[in-house]
Structure 1
Amino acid sequence: MSTHKKHPTRRRVLGASAIGVAATGAAVAGGTGLLSSASAATFGYKDDGSNYVIDTGASLVFKVSKSTGDITSLVHKGKEYEGYGGRHSHVESGLGASTVTIRQTGSTILVKAVHGAITQWYAARSGQNNVYLWTDKADASFTATRYIVRLKPGIFPNEGSDTWIEASDKVIEAGDVWKRADGSTHSKHYSGKRVIDYDYVGFTTGSVGLWLVRSNHEKASGGPFYRSLLRHSNDLGVGLYEILHYNQSQTEAQRFGLQGPYVLSFTDGGTPASSLFPANLDTSWADGLGITGWVGKAGRGKVAGVGLKGMDAKYAYTVGFANKDAQYWTKAAAGTGAFSCKGMLPGTYTMTVYKGELAVHTREVKVTAGGSTALNTLTLTGDPSAAQTVWRLGDWDGTPGEFKNAELMTYAHPSDARAAKWTGNVTIGSGSEAASFPAYMWKDVNDGILVYFKLTKEQAAAAHTLRVGVTTAYINGRPRVTVNDWVSAIPTAPTQPSTRSLTTGSYRGNNHTFTFNVPSSAWKTDVSQYNVLKLNIVSGSTGSAYLGPGTSFDCIDLLI
């Protein structure tokens, strides 16, 4: 089944040894991503008739097909790692007939493969066990933008939620979600990571590691919190992915142009060298290679902010930048909120400050080539948590993180045996209400959850605003509320991604707040009695069970 289609497929990640977390990526003792050039005497390439055979002068020899531009061989220290199921490593699902050329410039060998709107580049540098890759996509004639490195099965451990056993596990959804006999679920979608959380993905045996270090994703789409498949492993083959546009849970249109480099790196078992990470990678050596669309350091600018005023110390803040051509992000310093984002293409960007994953401030900012745009302290005024409430369930952070099953759902299916029951009526004031309230609600699964609460005499005499914040929805699922005998109107469906999300490890869509104006006549007049809020999922679309109309909650509160 093609993995670049609109409705994706299966897997998770092997823990800290498999996905590098950005915050801890500097811990790379033992990594050998960059090797000494002392062995570079054999650096060069030859033509075997069907492939360009490139010797890095270290421990890696790889081949690129002269007809398709696929990587057809990856031999490290004499052992072949590449290929499974009769297929090789390539952009998209393989370009097919392509024009492939090669040239050597000093200590760099560069391969160019052209097929219609896509140009794929590969580079080898003398003495390094790395392959540098770029993908240049001009238009939407291909449905997705991903590179898949296909590896032989049985070399690396088959462990984690993004791994499965085709010989014994059972498919439970769309051909790409699997359930094991113990009730655990597995899929290539179950990475459990956002883009901002990792620098690399891969596998290690302890004596050899094979890693794909991601690019800076400036031409990708979805922003810093986007979740997607990163790798997979089963008894038939292994894959590593660089996902630039996958059309799953996408909140943005895809961007076009040159993306990269991303780096395929062999090590002696350790993690890849931190010098290969997108924030650290020195790419000055690529400036004169003639890569189409390449913009070096001199053609880029930066934005720096003094700080952020009005932050909540309980949350991390991220500053994102986006326009139709590029996207970037950077973390704001705890306490001060100071931030700096470098290496940006010139242009005018929408700058968004996120509390957790919730946008709380936006403005425009202009970036110029070679320039630095300085911003004074920004005051955050868009945090809905600032409103006074009668009660609040969860918190406004753009995620369902406080609610039941939320963390598990980034690397498991809702039917997973480890999931707590999706039912969960709660009583305000009873303690641990948020932890008892389900992160997700579906029309066919747990519709009609109840929230019990009491009001004082003064509160019951007034109208109140009820806010229900959601992070995404599937097939237009959205909440309609009933308070005692009062029933709200059916709210308009906001724009949300059209693909699977809640069952493929992502709650990330377009954060939206539904506002319900509840009249004073709706409340119980006897203050000793509980008021009852009922939440139902409505939709004009049909589906069933976990693929029926549903939504993910951010926060629910009743304003004073």
Structure 2
Amino acid sequence: MSGSESHRPVRRRAFVLGAAAAAGSAALAGPLAAPAAAASFGYTDDGSNYVVDTGASLVFKVSKTNGDLTSLVYKGTEYQGYDGKNSHIESGLGTSTVTITQSGSTILISVTYGTLKHYYAARSGENNIYLWTNKADSSVSATRYIVRVKAGLFLNDEPDSYTYAPTTIEASDVFAKSDGQTRSKHYSKLRVMDYDYIGWTTGGVGLWIVRSNHEKASGGPFYRSLLRHQSADGGGLYEILYYGQNQTESERYGLQGPYVIAFTDGGAPSSSLYPGTLTTSWADSLGLSGYVASAGRGRVAGVGITGRNTAYAYTVGLANSAAQYWGSARSSDGYFSVTGVLPGTYTLTVFKGELAVYTTSVTVSAGGTTTLNTIAIPSSNDPSNASAIWRINDWNGTPSGFKNADLMTYAHPSDVRASAWTGNVVIGSGTETSAFPCYLWKDVNSGLLVYFKLTAAQAAAAHTLRIGVTTAYANGRPQVVVNDTWTSSIPSPPTQPSTRSLTNGSYRGNNYTFTYSVPASAWLTDTSQYNVLRIDVVSGSGTTAYLSAGTSIDAIDLLV
């Protein structure tokens, strides 16, 4: 999934970001929309492709050789393909077994390549293509489905577009515009729980991918991956089956889907297609490998959650080696319901923001509801409840609130919009959090200073210093020095993803808290003077600048 597309300047056209926030009053496309006349619904064989007419406004072709989507015609306009490439699984399969069947109002195309099975389904009168992918094991590479879209149809200049950013600044996939703003296909802004669909609209035509429930993906509800890209040569929309960048979990195998390619008359896709809303009883009898109908799934429901900090949203996640699910806890009482769960035993995790504050085990059975009594989060599970002399930011598992934190989900650290990564912090200034950089690197801003005063009683005692991180690059971790007289040992690196993270739009790794026992002898006894804490980033790996060893900060505090 490298950024190898070229970057020739082209004339700018109007755009609208096609994420979950996009909406429109134009015609919807989905199972609940009024079907168009379906007199022409059916398929033909042109010798090289199966040609499917949905009986609405969409005609598409699938290669009989390898299962590529070779044509995508909506209202007479061809949208599929750029640079001689088709839409397909990963970078395209080799010679495959491709078959087609029609059962009433459904047409199913089945693609088999080794142990991998992929499916396209069309429903009479709908401008949608339903897709499933079953990656059974590691013998076949399949980490995404990409819809390739012709150039000039949906051009934009959003963070995930590099049409107007011809200068490469990192690897082959991060670019800079002439005004200093950065662009990359990695800069989606969104966590997986934040969007239901991704795509583009001209106002008159919308082309979208509605994501699956990601039960066979990895990384959990807060995971970030690329969703689309735009270049002078064309655009790409992605359904990520497994993404190796900044990944925190092992790959899961099995049937993933349906995800949906949806055309509209410019508006958002119908909410009836969204994960958690979409029902596919019509697919129960299609014989999809690994398919489990709704009757074979269960539900987990919780009466409520106590011990919450109501300033934060809480999420409940379920995960085991085979599947993952999540749902939001109701703000008033913490009630939650997670539906469509495959039978099995799961670790249930309650997250405050993105910080795990409670775990337990639940077992789900087919057709049943596992009901949990009120979950009480112990006070000690939330680090914010510990009494502190001072605290920078609050503990929520993210760097939100720190300097440049919001920008870093859709820009490179070198972006002209970023505030200076250097600068020291004074406790009591009122700007402790906003002045503290969200990321620290060995080669950029290591050695950051925090100034603070202690009372005589506080200076007479030892204290615990805590630094929470959300991820690290190249094993970057903090070593601290107090008043140039006491230096902590170098902590061991926790388990973190080994790929780029801080420079490609993600702070999401494994939350970890470093603790340092600072002796009383380290503090200044003159209470009128500032104690000085220096935070260095240490690691023997990484390269230079923003690819030197680094880490993302959640919160820092000195306990009573």
| Pairwise TM-score range, normalised by the shorter structure | over 0.9
Within 5 Å, give how 1:306-345 maps onto structure 2: 306-345=303-342
Helix, strand or coil: the match of 2:196?
Answer: strand
Q: Scaled by the length of structure 1, what TM-score is found?
A: 0.96
- The CA deviation at 1:396 is 0.3
Give the Å deviation of 1:2. Answer: 4.5
Cα deviation code 1:145-165 (max 9, x no counterpart): 110000001011322000112
Corresponding residue for residue 398 of structure 1: 397
Q: What does 1:23-42 align with in structure 2 at a 5 Å threshold?
A: 29-34=25-30, 35-42=33-40
Distance 2:149 2:300 in 1: 40
The corresponding residue for 1:500 is 500
- Report the Cα distance in structure 2 between the residues aligned to 1:334 and 1:542, rounded to whole angstroms: 42
1:287 aligns with 2:270: no
Residues 426, 363 of structure 1: CA spacing in aligned structure 2 closer, same or farther, 3 A cutoff?
same
| C-alpha distance in 2 between matches for 1:49 and 1:2 | 33
Structure-1 separation of matches of 2:16 and 2:388: 40
Query: Tell me, what secondary structure is at the counterpart of 2:471?
Result: strand
Q: 1: CA distance between counterparts of 2:140 and 2:550?
A: 30
Count of paired positions:
546
Query: Does 1:174 find its partner at 2:177?
Result: no
Q: Is the 8 A contact 2:295 2:367 kept in 1?
A: yes
Secondary structure class of the residue paired with 1:468: strand
SS at match of 1:419: coil
Measure, in 2, the Cα distance between the counterparts of 1:276 and 1:514.
43
Q: In structure 1, what is the equivalent of residue 270 of structure 2?
A: 273
- Mapped partners of 1:38, 1:86: distance in 2: 32
Deviations 1:134-183 (A, max 9, x none): 010011234551100000010113220001127x6201101000000000
Q: Is the 8 A contact 1:302 1:367 kept in 2?
A: yes
Determine the structure 1 residue equivalent to 2:181: 184
How far off its partner does 1:335 sit? 2.1
1:249 equivalent in alignment to 2:246: yes
Match of 1:488 in 2: 488
Aligned residue runs from structure 1 range 51-450, under 5 A:
51-165=49-163, 169-381=166-378, 382-450=381-449
Residue 540 (structure 1) shift: 2.3
> 1:8 maps to what in 2?
none
Alpha-carbon distance between aligned partners in 1 of 2:313 and 2:17, rounded to the nearest angstrom: 24
CA shift, 1:273, in A, is 0.4
Q: Who is 2:9 aligned against?
A: none
Separation in 1, partners of 2:82, 2:115 = 27
- Determine if contact 2:448/2:536 at 8 Å carries over to the other structure: yes
CA contact (8 A) 1:472 1:552 kept: yes
Shift, 1:29, TM fit: 3.5
> In the TM superposition, what is the alpha-carbon distance from 1:187 to its structure 2 partner?
0.3
How far off is 1:69 after superposition?
0.2
Which SS does the other structure have where 1:335 is aligned?
coil
- 1:28–1:274 CA contact under 8 A, matched in 2: no
Work out whether residues 28 and 273 of structure 1, in 8 Å CA contact, stay in contact via their aligned partners in 2.
no
Task: Give the structure 2 partner of residue 548 of structure 1.
Answer: 548
Quick one: structure 1 residues 38 and 80, their matched pair in 2 at CA, closer, same or farther if it must change by over 3 Å? closer
Would the alpha carbon gap of residues 142 and 449 (structure 1) be closer, same or farther in structure 2, given more than 3 Å must change? Answer: farther
Partner of 1:453: 452
Shift in Å, 1:20: 1.0
Q: Deviations 1:326-373 (Å, cap 9, x if unpaired)?
A: 000000000200000010000000000000000000000010000000
Q: Distance in 2 between matches of 1:244 and 1:553?
A: 29
Aligned-pair CA distance for 1:32: 1.6
Partner of 1:468: 467
- Superimposed CA distance per residue, residues 419-456 of structure 1 (whole angstroms, 9 cap, x where no aligned partner): 00001210000112100000001000111000000000
Residue identity opposite 1:32 in structure 2? L
> Contact 1:44–1:54 (CA<8 Å) still a contact in 2?
yes
CA contact (8 A) 2:144 2:241 kept: yes
Which AA in structure 1 matches 2:458? Q
In 2, distance between residues paired with 1:3 and 1:49? 34
Shift of 1:38: 4.1
Amino acid in the other structure paired with 1:260:
G
Residue 511 (structure 2) aligns with: 511
* Equivalent position amino acid for 2:138 in 1: A
SS at match of 1:285: helix
Question: Residue type matched to 2:155 in 1?
Answer: P
Report the secondary structure of 1:435's partner residue: helix
Shift of 1:37: 3.0
State whether residues 157 and 205 of structure 1, in contact with CA within 8 Å, keep that contact through their aligned partners in structure 2: no
**Per-residue deviation, 1:31:** 4.0
The 8 Å contact of residues 16 and 156 in structure 2, kept in 1 or not, is answered as: no
Partner residue, 2:10 = none
> What displacement does 1:234 show?
1.2
Contact 2:297/2:341 (CA < 8 Å) preserved in 1?
yes
In the alignment, the residues of structure 2 paired with residue 28 and residue 380 of structure 1 have an alpha-carbon distance, to the nearest angstrom, of 41
Shift of 1:16: 7.3
SS for the counterpart of 2:415 is coil
What do the CA deviations read for 1:239-267 (whole angstroms, capped 9, x no partner)?
00001211111000010000000000000
Contact (CA 8 Å) 1:199, 1:278: kept in 2 or not? yes
Relative to 1, partners in 2 of residues 1:407 and 1:93: Cα closer, same or farther, differing over 3 Å? same
- 1:294–1:3 distance in 2 versus 1, CA, 3 Å: farther
Corresponding residue of 1:7: none
Following TM superposition, the consecutive aligned residue runs of length 4 or more in structure 1 with deviations greater than 6 angstroms are none
Contact 1:3–1:93, Cα closer than 8 Å, also in 2: no
- 2:533 is paired with a residue whose SS is strand
Cα deviation, 1:108-142, whole Å, max 9, x if unaligned, reads 00001111132110000000000000010011234
**1:33: how far off?**
1.1
- Which amino acid in 1 is paired with 2:534? K
Cα distance in 1 for partners of 2:142, 2:550 equals: 26
Give 1:11-22 correspondences, 5 Å limit: 17-21=17-21
Instruction: Determine the C-alpha separation between the residues in 2 that align with 1:495 and 1:465.
Output: 23
Per the alignment, in what secondary structure is the counterpart of residue 40 of structure 1? coil
- 1:38–1:59 Cα change, 3 Å: closer
Residue 319 of structure 2 aligns with an amino acid whose one-letter code is: A
- What CA RMSD, in Å, does the superposition of the two structures yield over aligned residues? 1.4
